[in-house]
Amino acid sequence: MKVELRKHISEILLSLQIPISFEVYNCNNEVLPKWTEQLQLTHEFLVCCEKTAEIKKLQSFLGKPIFEIENHIYWFDGNRTVAIGLAEIEILPERTEKKIDCLKTRTALPAWLDDFIFDHLNAEYAPDFKTFGYNLDSTKEDNLKYLGTYFPRSYAESFCIFDNIFQNMNYQNTLSENKSLNILSVGCGTGGDLIGLLTIVEKYCHNVSEIKIWAIDGNEEALEIFENIIRQFRFQTSKIIELHVIKNIFPSILDVDLQQIKEYTFDFILSFKMICEIILSGAGSNDNSYFDFVMKFTPLLSSKGLCLLLDVTTKAEHNNSFNPILMNWQVNQALLKLEIFQTLLPLPCNFYEQVCMEQCFTQQKFQVSHKQKTNDISKVCYRVIGRVEFINRLVSRRKNVKYILQTDKQNMTTAFCPHSIGEIIMDGYKLIN
């Protein structure tokens, strides 16, 4: 592992033309240099180099933070040895836990959707994270298994996240001025994320009479299923649904063809569990895809638009970093460049993203029930992003608050954003009025 890591770093330095020497230490069993005594060792490997002026270039290529100390720069690699990327982990007394007002993360498929996908389309609940780790080439049969297993999960995640956002009165009032909404989904697949959002729009946006959807994906079978579901959704709503399906296979985010959407702005941009597949298929060449996505798509948001970027919390085999760590780091880097955009959720990212240098593993659990499974659990990481001016109208900053970013009921641990310090404990995922 250390040998491979050395080779990998040599190749990176060579290709970036940064001629510096470096050393890799296994933090678990090697003697480390004296200056590392002041560091918190968070991972299996510590990589140190002499100082270089090319830190930014190297940092953006590696997709992880590089730190400076004395005459050295260093970063961590390999598996995490400190539990997760959040500095503070605590066991909360049950009494405190009960008092925290948390995001609602459990829902069920609406009856019409449950009936339609299982009884009419013949979806099947058949979890298999290996097969469904990559879906671009899925057959019709695979897509029906995806529909019965992962579609409901995406539905629930989207439904719960937007249900909370729409309860913010400033958001609801601003959006209710709209008669028409534009929605873009990149990597929509069978469209669980879109149907979750449409169900929320139906619940809250009574003034909206027209919804235009642009749905991009490379898998024709999945798009066909999605079109079928939209046809059925039209019976559930009085709104006009205009659907533009765009079949596009893109080798990387930079290659997504914007020709058909470039004259529009969007009130919602969704991308659920697609970037993990782009990273996987790139075998190293697409590792910066969260950064690329934010740079390419957030400028397409309308003045009150929100982009929900969501992914699974696993990692690609070729990459040492888990998706949430890549997502959080790269979104922060992109937003430093795109100054007029900001994170809305998780809330601590809204407050601290400009100064955050953490390798932050965030994870939220959702549960969905349907005909073939009760309380099926999914684990995801996500960021909601919008224009600074608009986001500022939705968030009020509170003092003395410590934000929860991950709860593990099984191990009875709670992890907090290390930047948030205070006595009041709040859920980092729950937007409040």
Ligand X SMILES: C[S@@+](CC[C@H](N)C(=O)[O-])C[C@H]1O[C@@H](n2cnc3c(N)ncnc32)[C@H](O)[C@@H]1O
**Residues engaged in binding ligand X (CB under 6 A):** 135-136, 150-151, 154, 187-190, 192-193, 217-219, 222, 249-250, 272-274, 277-278
Least distance from ligand X to the Cβ atom of residue 161, Å: 12
Least distance from ligand X to the Cβ atom of residue 169, Å: 29
- Residue closer to ligand X (CB basis): 22 or 118: 118
Cα dihedral value 262, 332, 187, 272, nearest 10: -130
Least distance from ligand X to the Cβ atom of residue 24, Å: 33
- Residue closer to ligand X (CB basis): 45 or 118: 118
- Residue closer to ligand X (CB basis): 90 or 124: 124
- Residue closer to ligand X (CB basis): 76 or 150: 150
- Residue closer to ligand X (CB basis): 48 or 188: 188
Cβ contact 118:370 at 8 Å:
yes
- Residue closer to ligand X (CB basis): 55 or 136: 136
DSSP string, 148-216: HHHHHHHHHHHHHHHHHHHTSHHHHHHHTT-SEEEEEEET-TT-HHHHHHHHHHHHH-TT--EEEEEEE
Q: Is the four-CA dihedral 134, 140, 145, 146 of positive or negative sign?
A: positive
Number of alpha carbons in the 13 Å side-chain half-sphere of residue 61 = 15
Residue 428's contacts (CB-CB under 8 Å, 6 or more residues apart) are 345, 346, 347, 348, 403, 404, 405, 417, 420
Least distance from ligand X to the Cβ atom of residue 188, Å: 5
Least distance from ligand X to the Cβ atom of residue 255, Å: 8
Which DSSP category does 320 fall into? S
- Residue closer to ligand X (CB basis): 273 or 304: 273
* Burial annotation 43-54 (CB, 10 A radius, 16+ → b, else e): bbbbbbbeebee
Least distance from ligand X to the Cβ atom of residue 177, Å: 28
Cα dihedral value 138, 141, 142, 145, nearest 10: 150
Rg of the chain, C-alpha, whole Å = 22
Least distance from ligand X to the Cβ atom of residue 170, Å: 28
Q: How many C-beta neighbours within 10 Å does residue 236 have?
A: 14
